[in-house]
Amino acid sequence: MGHCYQKIEINCPIEQVWQTLSNFHDMSWAPGVVNDVTIVGDKGPFERGSQRILNNLFHETLIVINAKDYSFSYSIDDGPGPIAKNEVDNYVGVVKLTELTAGTLVEWGSSFDSGNESQVIDFCNPIYAALLNALKIHLTPA
Protein backbone atom coordinates (compact mmCIF):
# COMPACT_ATOMS: atom_id res chain seq x y z
CA MET A 1 0.00 0.00 0.00
CA GLY A 2 1.32 3.44 -0.97
CA HIS A 3 1.05 6.68 0.95
CA CYS A 4 1.27 10.38 0.14
CA TYR A 5 1.60 13.09 2.77
CA GLN A 6 2.07 16.84 3.03
CA LYS A 7 1.50 19.28 5.90
CA ILE A 8 1.56 22.99 6.58
CA GLU A 9 1.13 25.28 9.58
CA ILE A 10 -1.19 28.23 9.13
CA ASN A 11 -1.38 31.12 11.57
CA CYS A 12 -5.16 31.08 11.67
CA PRO A 13 -7.77 29.69 14.10
CA ILE A 14 -8.80 26.09 13.43
CA GLU A 15 -12.47 27.05 13.02
CA GLN A 16 -11.60 29.46 10.21
CA VAL A 17 -9.46 26.87 8.44
CA TRP A 18 -12.21 24.26 8.84
CA GLN A 19 -14.85 26.64 7.48
CA THR A 20 -12.72 27.11 4.36
CA LEU A 21 -11.81 23.44 3.80
CA SER A 22 -14.89 21.53 4.87
CA ASN A 23 -17.22 22.49 2.01
CA PHE A 24 -16.59 19.63 -0.43
CA HIS A 25 -18.10 21.60 -3.31
CA ASP A 26 -16.07 24.80 -2.83
CA MET A 27 -12.40 25.02 -3.69
CA SER A 28 -12.42 28.70 -4.62
CA TRP A 29 -9.62 29.12 -2.08
CA ALA A 30 -7.21 27.30 -4.45
CA PRO A 31 -7.15 29.36 -7.66
CA GLY A 32 -4.55 28.15 -10.12
CA VAL A 33 -4.66 24.67 -8.58
CA VAL A 34 -8.37 23.96 -8.90
CA ASN A 35 -9.97 26.05 -11.62
CA ASP A 36 -13.23 24.14 -11.98
CA VAL A 37 -15.44 22.16 -9.59
CA THR A 38 -18.37 20.28 -11.09
CA ILE A 39 -20.92 19.02 -8.56
CA VAL A 40 -22.22 15.54 -9.38
CA GLY A 41 -25.53 14.29 -8.02
CA ASP A 42 -27.79 15.89 -5.45
CA LYS A 43 -25.85 15.40 -2.20
CA GLY A 44 -24.92 18.53 -0.29
CA PRO A 45 -21.29 19.57 0.29
CA PHE A 46 -21.27 18.21 3.86
CA GLU A 47 -23.01 14.89 3.12
CA ARG A 48 -21.40 11.49 2.91
CA GLY A 49 -21.51 10.41 -0.73
CA SER A 50 -21.21 13.96 -2.08
CA GLN A 51 -19.37 13.92 -5.40
CA ARG A 52 -17.29 16.40 -7.38
CA ILE A 53 -15.08 16.56 -10.44
CA LEU A 54 -12.04 18.83 -10.16
CA ASN A 55 -10.60 20.45 -13.28
CA ASN A 56 -12.66 18.02 -15.42
CA LEU A 57 -10.18 15.28 -14.39
CA PHE A 58 -10.41 14.18 -10.75
CA HIS A 59 -13.61 12.30 -9.82
CA GLU A 60 -13.96 12.31 -6.03
CA THR A 61 -16.50 11.14 -3.46
CA LEU A 62 -16.76 12.34 0.16
CA ILE A 63 -16.53 9.28 2.43
CA VAL A 64 -16.59 10.79 5.93
CA ILE A 65 -16.75 14.31 7.31
CA ASN A 66 -16.25 14.88 11.04
CA ALA A 67 -16.60 18.45 12.27
CA LYS A 68 -15.73 17.44 15.86
CA ASP A 69 -12.35 16.07 14.75
CA TYR A 70 -11.87 18.65 11.99
CA SER A 71 -11.28 15.96 9.38
CA PHE A 72 -12.72 14.47 6.23
CA SER A 73 -11.85 11.66 3.87
CA TYR A 74 -12.67 11.12 0.24
CA SER A 75 -12.02 8.62 -2.51
CA ILE A 76 -10.58 9.32 -5.92
CA ASP A 77 -12.73 7.25 -8.24
CA ASP A 78 -10.94 8.23 -11.45
CA GLY A 79 -8.31 10.68 -12.56
CA PRO A 80 -5.46 11.32 -14.94
CA GLY A 81 -2.25 9.31 -15.38
CA PRO A 82 -1.19 7.22 -12.40
CA ILE A 83 -4.48 7.74 -10.54
CA ALA A 84 -6.73 6.58 -13.38
CA LYS A 85 -9.25 3.98 -12.24
CA ASN A 86 -7.39 1.21 -14.09
CA GLU A 87 -4.06 2.21 -12.48
CA VAL A 88 -4.93 2.63 -8.78
CA ASP A 89 -7.36 1.02 -6.33
CA ASN A 90 -8.69 2.04 -2.93
CA TYR A 91 -7.43 5.63 -3.15
CA VAL A 92 -8.51 7.41 0.04
CA GLY A 93 -7.44 10.95 0.79
CA VAL A 94 -7.61 12.37 4.32
CA VAL A 95 -7.51 15.99 5.43
CA LYS A 96 -6.99 16.56 9.17
CA LEU A 97 -6.68 19.77 11.16
CA THR A 98 -4.97 20.05 14.54
CA GLU A 99 -5.11 23.13 16.74
CA LEU A 100 -1.70 24.57 17.61
CA THR A 101 -0.73 27.23 20.14
CA ALA A 102 -0.42 29.77 17.33
CA GLY A 103 -2.62 28.51 14.53
CA THR A 104 -3.51 25.26 12.83
CA LEU A 105 -1.64 22.26 11.46
CA VAL A 106 -3.20 21.03 8.22
CA GLU A 107 -2.28 17.53 7.10
CA TRP A 108 -3.24 16.12 3.70
CA GLY A 109 -2.46 12.50 3.02
CA SER A 110 -3.67 9.45 1.19
CA SER A 111 -3.33 5.71 0.93
CA PHE A 112 -3.81 3.60 -2.18
CA ASP A 113 -3.01 0.34 -3.92
CA SER A 114 -1.01 0.54 -7.14
CA GLY A 115 1.64 -1.34 -9.06
CA ASN A 116 3.28 2.07 -9.60
CA GLU A 117 3.39 3.53 -6.09
CA SER A 118 6.28 5.90 -6.81
CA GLN A 119 4.45 7.37 -9.82
CA VAL A 120 1.34 8.01 -7.72
CA ILE A 121 3.43 9.61 -4.96
CA ASP A 122 5.36 11.77 -7.44
CA PHE A 123 2.06 12.84 -9.01
CA CYS A 124 0.01 13.51 -5.86
CA ASN A 125 2.48 15.00 -3.37
CA PRO A 126 3.08 18.16 -5.45
CA ILE A 127 -0.68 18.61 -5.83
CA TYR A 128 -1.16 18.35 -2.05
CA ALA A 129 1.68 20.83 -1.49
CA ALA A 130 0.15 23.28 -4.00
CA LEU A 131 -3.28 22.97 -2.36
CA LEU A 132 -1.83 23.59 1.11
CA ASN A 133 0.18 26.59 -0.10
CA ALA A 134 -2.93 28.03 -1.78
CA LEU A 135 -4.86 27.53 1.46
CA LYS A 136 -2.19 29.35 3.46
CA ILE A 137 -2.13 32.24 1.00
CA HIS A 138 -5.93 32.46 1.08
CA LEU A 139 -6.09 32.51 4.89
CA THR A 140 -3.04 34.67 5.66
CA PRO A 141 -3.69 38.40 5.58
CA ALA A 142 -1.40 40.33 3.26
CATH of the domain at 118: 3.30.530.20
Domain containing 122: what range? Answer: 2-139
pTM, entire model: 0.95
Mean pLDDT (the chain, rounded): 96
pLDDT value at 142 more than 90: no
Split into its structural domains, the chain has a count of 1
Mean pLDDT (whole number) for 117-141: 96
For residue 79, the one-letter residue type is G
